[in-house]
Each structure stands twice: as structure tokens, then as C-alpha cells.
Amino acid sequence: MNKAIERGQSFLDKVAGVIRNRNTEGTASVNSQNDDWPEPGDIKGKLHPVPSFEAETLLPPVLREWVMDEADRMPCPPDFVAAAAVVALGSIIGARCAIKPKAQDDWLVVPNVWGGVVGLPSAKKSPAISAALKPLERLIEQAIEAHRAELDACDASRTVFKAREDAIEHHIKAAAKDPKNGDLDSLVQELQDHRQQVPDSPALRRYKTNDTTIEKLGELLRDNPGGLLLLRDELVGLLSSWERYGREGERAFYLEAWNGNSSFDTDRIGRGSIFIPNLCVSIFGGIQPDKLTAYLEQIKNALANDGMLQRFQLLVYPDHRKWEWRDRAPNMEARNQAFAIFEALAEFNPVDWGAAPADEFIKFPHFHFDEAAQELFIKWSSDLHTERLPAEEDSLMAQHLAKFDKLFPALALIFHLVECAATGRRGPLSKEAALRAAAWCEYLEAHARRCYGLLADMELCAAQALAKKLLQGDLVNGFTVRDVMRKQWSGLKTKPVIQAGLAWLEEEEWLRSEDIGASGRSTRRYWINPRISELGKTGKHDDELA
């Protein structure tokens, strides 16, 4: 037995020796032909350009200083804070009112919108969203306090109700024993009438939820027909869950919820039936570029693309903002003004602010464009449908732009109501609100092109992921594609993707490759530019590979 083990070990030593010799020969060959390695090139993406955030154009004055101050103190791109704030404002307004974008037609648009922020893990996505939703958190706290007071009042009312019920029952028992104590039939009727007046438990006004089933969300919307915000720290998990087999019901639910203007009935064994008078949901969250790319690839190859991602109209992917130290007090005046806008919109009466009342044909109070704003919207809509959409070659982008029909009037209504809350203005939507909505549409189109353009940058993503591993020293000279696959690193799990990334790195002189072994049985091995170890120490490529 010992001799067999020795013979086996000897054989393994010989095999290891052959491998070492082959690797050494390969190294010598590569180095002898390339004594001077050049400086590795930059692994930079060719993302679609997006405009810088022009706060004076895109934001009403009452929100401008608050958004820019929150973004600058982190620091993070102001796009993150602004997009989250606009979606939050739309969720507060929700289905309590709408806009009729046409002067005569009864087409209605509810201002609930979906959006998200795309950025690297270090881009301050979550802190930016949290800052933008602080006014909403204050409203939630106020609603909870008000609900406690309502519960106390309800308990008192139920005590009185129960005492009155006991008294009537006592009279009924007395009348049953002796007719002189009262008319039994009258007392029974009195009891029945009384029981119709049992105090209902007050419903807590909800503004948002973070994690819910559609059954529970249906109950929340039944009690909050104006709608609410679904906030997710990582949107891709939510989107991917709707793609799974057997989740078609959830997908249909949210597709309807984006419209914001339809009733919805759910019937479940064990849970009974729920009638939702108006299904209205706003959605917001964060996404990392690599996860968005994977999801885009998934829906690009899907047989049935129903435009779910295209509903995320306020999806922003700004240029990365380099971190700098910031430490100063918040602009409290700007913050208080912004918070006051949220509070005003949480309680406003649309009809008092100039909306036409609901009627038997139109279920919501509704606003109109004034004459100048209506003319602007007609020109914008005509250009969209006769020029831009017919000329659009990217199918995903065309589907995205087609949903701008809702985006423009929804944003215009949000900005109009913000102006009303800030200045006391009343009446139809002004040309200023329409111009601001048009500016947002142009701005968001560029961001959408950047997001959908990630499909063309999969090789770049793989190259950046590999470059990061090289800088960290996670790969050694002579590695193979199989070596990388075994690691199962994020974004580097399939052979074609890895090979594409390696080819990019070779072009930029990060690597050189050589086939080692006999013809027909050779293995391609990759040799690392020795200058990379110095780059890892200096952090030269940290921003582009973060």
C-alpha cells in the first residue's frame, strides 16, 4: 500500500513538474518578446452622454435650494435627490386629482410616476433617496400620531355605543317579562338601528411601504385610494420577481397600478374578496449598473416584453460624482420651505385649488392646461409621434418614449401644484409648468438612452470587473478563462463574457496571452502587465472601476 502511494505521489510530482515547466516556458516566451510593457490604458466606458442637472430649469424655486443643498453636503449627484423628491410628490398627490391633457377629450392622467437612481455602490444612492424622502417620513410620523388620537376617540365612542346597546337590551328583557315596561317590537327595531351605527376603526393613512405582497398592498390601497409609494432599496430584485413563472398575477397588478386610474378586484381563498376603488402605486429605488445590464439582457431576449421597465420614466443615471469631504449645517430655511410643500399637498383640496369636480363620467377632480400650455403640449406631442418615434431605431427606447404621453402631463401637474402650494396660485396649469415638464422629458430621454445603452457595454463591464480583480491581485500570471469561471465573480460567470472582457484588456495592454501546449490541446494563458501592481497602489483607476 505504501509503495502504491509513493508511486502515485511520484506520478503527481511529475505532472506538476511538467505544468511548471510549461508555465515557465510560456512566461519566458512572453517576456523575452515583450521586455517593455507599456502603461496600461484606461478602461473607460462610452456611455451615452447625459446633461448636467440644471436646477434652475428643472426645479420650482421652492424646491431648488433644498435639493442642491442635500446633494452637495453628501456629496452626490443632485439628480438622485431631485428624482426621488418628484416621485414622492407625485405619490402624495396620487389619485386625489388628475389632469386632462386634451381640452375636449376625457383622457385622464394621474400624476403617480415610477423612477429610480442608477449608480455604483459608492454613489450615495441610498443616502440621497433617504434625504429626499425626509418630508415624507415627517408626514408618516404625523399620520401615526393622528391615528393614535383617532383610536382613542374610537375607543370612547365604542364604550358609549356598548353602554347604549346594553341599555336597550336591558329594556328588551324587561319588556319581554312585562309589556308594561315598553313596546317589545319598537325596542327590537331600536336595537337593530343602533347596531347599524357601530363606530368603525379608523384606518391609518399610509404614504409608503417597503415590502409587501400584492394581497396586503390591495388592503392598503382599499383604505388609501389616493395611492402610496413602494420604496425598494434594490429595484432589480422587485423587477426580476415579476419575470418568474407563476407571478403573472403580480405583474398584471403592477401594470394596472402604474395607470393609477382603475378599480381592481382581488378574490383569494382564505382571504376573501377585496374591492380596490382605485389602484394607484408609485415606485422608486436604486439599481447598480451591472444588475440593470443583466436585467436588460433578460428582457431584450424575452418573447413578450410588456414594457414594465419602460414605465420607470424617472430613471436617472448621472455621471459619477467624486467623493469630497463635506461638513456644514443644512440650509434649514430651504428645508423647511420644501417640507411645507409636502405637508400642503398632503392635505389640499383639488377643487379649492382650481380643479373641476368629479362627475358621473370623470371619477377624479381634474385640472386643465391654460391656452398657452395647451398649445405647447400639442406641439410637443405632435413632434413626439410624427418625428421622433418613427425615427427611433432602438425598440426598447421607442417603447420608453411612447410612455412620455403620461410623463409630460403628470410632471406638469406635479410642478403646477407645487407652485400653487408655494405661491397661492389657483386655476389651470401655466405655460411655465408645461415648459418645466418638457425640459424634464428631454433630460430624462438622455438618461434613458444611457440606461438602455448598457446592453452594448457588456464587454466593457466585464473588462472593468476583471481589471478590478487584477488591481486587487486576485489573479496571477498564467491564469486561464477556466480559472476566472471557477471564481464565479459577479458579472464574470460565463465564458463568452469573460473572453470578451479579456480581449478588451489585451487591447489596452493590461494583459497578453499565449497558447501553451501542443497543437490541438493548447491552453490559452494570460500574462499580467507588471505595471498593474503599481496602479493598484496609487488607485489611479479607482473611479472608473469602483
Please list the pLDDT of the chain residue by residue as tens digits (546 residues).
Answer: 444 434 434 433 433 343 344 344 444 445 434 457 888 888 876 788 999 999 999 999 999 999 999 999 999 999 999 999 999 999 999 999 999 999 999 999 999 999 999 999 889 999 999 999 999 999 999 999 998 988 888 888 888 888 888 888 888 888 888 787 778 888 888 888 888 888 788 888 999 999 888 888 888 998 998 999 999 988 988 887 887 777 777 888 898 899 988 877 766 655 667 788 889 999 999 999 888 888 887 777 654 466 888 999 999 999 999 889 999 999 999 999 999 999 999 999 999 999 999 988 889 999 999 999 999 999 999 999 999 999 998 888 999 999 999 999 999 999 999 999 999 999 999 999 999 999 999 999 999 999 998 876 777 888 989 999 999 999 999 999 999 999 999 878 888 889 989 998 999 999 999 998 876 678 999 999 998 877 655 555 544 454
Rg (alpha carbons) of the chain, rounded to whole number? 32
pLDDT of res. 194: 83
pTM of the full structure: 0.76
Give every CB contact of residue 247 below 8 A, 6+ residues apart in sequence: 241
Which amino acid is it at 308?
M
Axis crossing angle, helix 134-177 with helix 125-132, rounded to the nearest 10:
50
pLDDT of res. 269: 53
Secondary structure of 402-443 as H, E, C letters: HCHHHHHHHHHHHHHHHHHHHHCCCCCECHHHHHHHHHHHHH
* Whole-angstrom distance, CA of residue 355 vs CA of residue 370: 12
Half-sphere exposure of 217 (CA within 13 A, CB side): 23
pLDDT of res. 291: 87
* Cβ(23)–Cβ(483) below 8 Å: no
pLDDT of res. 539: 53
pLDDT of res. 536: 56
pLDDT, tens only, 154-191: 888 888 888 888 888 888 888 888 787 778 888 888 88
Choose among 171, 107, 190, 148: nearest CA to 408. 107
Grid coordinates given for 300:
431584450
* Cβ(428)–Cβ(410) below 8 Å: no
Secondary structure of 469-514 as H, E, C letters: HHHCCCCCCCECHHHHHHHCECCECCHHHHHHHHHHHHHCCCEEEE
φ, ψ of residue 314 in degrees (nearest 5): -95, 50
* Whole-angstrom distance, CA of residue 130 vs CA of residue 459: 33
Grid coordinates given for 537:
497602489
Grid coordinates given for 206:
399610509
Handedness of CA 475, 479, 482, 486 (dihedral sign): negative
Count of all residues that appear for the chain in the document: 546
pLDDT of res. 6: 47
- Cis geometry, peptide bond prior to residue 75 (ω within 30 degrees of 0): yes
* Whole-angstrom distance, CA of residue 65 vs CA of residue 68: 5
pLDDT of res. 11: 35
Q: Is 102 helix (H, G, I), strand (E, B) or coil?
A: coil
* Whole-angstrom distance, CA of residue 504 vs CA of residue 258: 41
* Cβ(114)–Cβ(314) below 8 Å: yes
Residue 484: how many other CB atoms lie within 10 Å: 25
Element (H, E) at 131: helix 125-132
The DSSP code for 36 is: S
Residue 75: how many other CB atoms lie within 10 Å: 16
* Whole-angstrom distance, CA of residue 298 vs CA of residue 258: 22
* Cβ(339)–Cβ(85) below 8 Å: no
Q: Is 231 helix (H, G, I), strand (E, B) or coil?
A: strand
Place of cell 391615528: 147
Residue 229: how many other CB atoms lie within 10 Å: 24
* Whole-angstrom distance, CA of residue 219 vs CA of residue 287: 28
pLDDT of res. 22: 38
Place of cell 385649488: 353
